[in-house]
Amino acid sequence: MPAACWRAFGKGVLAAMAGLGMVSGATAESPTVADRWLINTGEYGERDRLSAYPAWTRLVESLSAKARIGSMFLFSADSTQDMVATRNGTVAVIVGPAHIVSSALRHGHYLPVGVASRNVSIVLATLKSSAIRSFADAKGKSLGVPGQDAIATYLMRGEANAAGSSIRQYFSSVYYTYYEGALLNALKFGTVDTVAVEETLFEQWRAKGEPVREVMRTKESPGVAIVAHKSIGKGAIEAMRDLVAGKSVPSQSGATFRSVDPAAYEYVSTLGYFTPRMLDGAQLVTAQEAKQLMARGVLLYDTRVRTEFVVSRPAGAVSLPYVERSAKETDFDAGKDEFDLSRLPADRNKEVMFSCGGPECWKSYKAAWLAARGGYKRVYWFRGGIKEWSEAGLPIDRG
């Protein structure tokens, strides 16, 4: 493509995104659920997304026409915000890697449409000159990953958890970068000892003769998949499934879409993803126990962001957002986060209770941890959050 045409094409892409008012992430306001698509393919380079734009446009337009829904879409690389969209069900169709699709299916707003025939695994890589030969050898070394909510990070976190540790405890330091490709330079320049990347990128590096070596490879997870909001209707979703079956996956040479087996997501649903099942200084409670505590006057503090709180919350819950910037780890750095403990009762003997989106949401874990460390003696952690509350059929407040 001539340079002038490429520049015009790039401007057209950005204009289309800007016209949606959603260039910053997946949490923008939308008048109806069926207005837009969210596409996160796990590719972090601008070039990758722009080169795939025409193919995704054709696929989105054909599926949208079949389902009679809007064909506006956004390319996103912000997995953290995209996970919020899966929990709240705020977009019509989501295209994403395994952990995003797993969250969408688990929260009950979406139904599967199709998944790439090519599965994904994550490679822990180092330089050929390195003495690191196994995952055990990597303990105490530094690690580079694309971002704390990238699929590579989730699966590598799971490997650390399986070793009885956390990613921050297992590795001496963790280096995050927005661009997955930048990890090669971090490795070559000595910024990190190891990097975790999708196998396709690692194989590209090796094919180009880069001085990298595989240390270990994770178990395979499903590739990029499409899920549609239940409000679209079963008939429309079935039509989308029929149309997408066998079609090529944009930006994945040789891969085609096939039917989704929800059971395939069990591995990624739990590996390196959920909060612990215990918290020193706090008592875990179920939805029914939380309801009983509230009935006798214990305040339930919902730690999600305001936009999530207004969508739905346990009836009677109070909004106390936890602004989370730290890693989703038990040894998180609370200094990076914001949480207003002064809004809790002045009397440290008062009972306090915290919740958020569900077992995968770390905000309530961190809030309860801070409250316990702040001297509160009767702290309850409602780990199941709004997901467990809703499934129990308990009253919901909205707005």
Tell whether 13 is covered by a domain. yes
Distance CA 138, CA 330 (A): 20
Which of 182, 201, 217 finishes a domain? 217
CATH number of the domain within which 326 lies: 3.40.250.10
Residues spanned by the domain of 247: 3-118+222-270
Query: 318: helix, coil or strand?
Result: strand
Distance CA 350, CA 140 (A): 41
Query: 63: helix, coil or strand?
Result: helix
Q: Which residues of the chain have pLDDT under 50?
A: 1-32, 34, 44-46
Q: Are 147 and 81 part of one and the same domain? A: no
CATH number of the domain within which 101 lies: 3.40.190.10
Length of the chain as a residue count: 399
Tell whether 384 is covered by a domain. yes
Q: Are 86 and 46 part of one and the same domain? A: yes
- Cα angle value 336/339/345 (rounded, 5°): 150
Dihedral sign of CA atoms 35, 41, 45, 51 in order:
negative
Q: Are 27 and 140 part of one and the same domain? A: no
User: For position 273, what pLDDT does the model report?
Assistant: 55
Q: How many CB atoms lie within 10 A of CB 39?
A: 24
Q: Are 38 and 80 part of one and the same domain? A: yes
Tell whether 276 is covered by a domain. no
Amino acid occupying residue 72: M
Evaluate whether 165 touches 175 at the Cβ level (below 8 Å).
no
Evaluate whether 122 touches 156 at the Cβ level (below 8 Å).
yes
Q: Are 127 and 98 part of one and the same domain? A: no
User: For position 71, what pLDDT does the model report?
Assistant: 85
Evaluate whether 334 touches 371 at the Cβ level (below 8 Å).
no
User: For position 18, what pLDDT does the model report?
Assistant: 31
Q: Are 248 and 336 part of one and the same domain? A: no
Which of 217, 236, 260 finishes a domain? 217
Tell whether 277 is covered by a domain. no
Distance CA 124, CA 145 (A): 10
Tell whether 103 is covered by a domain. yes
Distance CA 163, CA 207 (A): 31
Give me the helix-helix angle, 151-162 and 98-106, nearest 10°: 80
Q: Are 99 and 13 part of one and the same domain? A: yes
Q: How many CA atoms lie within 13 A of 3 on its CB side?
A: 0
**Count of structural domains, the chain:** 3
Tell whether 275 is covered by a domain. no
Burial 153-178 (b: 16+ CB within 10 A, else e): bbbbbbbbbeeebbbbebbeebbebe
**Phi, psi for residue 195 in degrees, rounded to 5:** -140, 150
The strand ranges marked E within the chain are 36-39, 72-75, 93-96, 110-116, 122-127, 142-145, 173-176, 194-198, 212-217, 225-229, 257-258, 282-284, 299-302, 313-314, 318-319, 351-355, 378-382, 396-397
Distance CA 30, CA 106 (A): 22
Q: Are 180 and 110 part of one and the same domain? A: no
Query: 389: helix, coil or strand?
Result: helix
The strand ranges marked E within 199-325 are 212-217, 225-229, 257-258, 282-284, 299-302, 313-314, 318-319
Helix (H) or strand (E) holding 151: helix 151-162
User: For position 8, what pLDDT does the model report?
Assistant: 34
Tell whether 296 is covered by a domain. yes
User: For position 202, what pLDDT does the model report?
Assistant: 94
Distance CA 24, CA 75 (A): 10
Q: Are 155 and 232 part of one and the same domain? A: no
Q: Are 66 and 204 part of one and the same domain? A: no
Tell whether 339 is covered by a domain. yes
Which of 217, 242, 261 finishes a domain? 217
Q: Are 290 and 380 part of one and the same domain? A: yes
Q: Are 306 and 256 part of one and the same domain? A: no
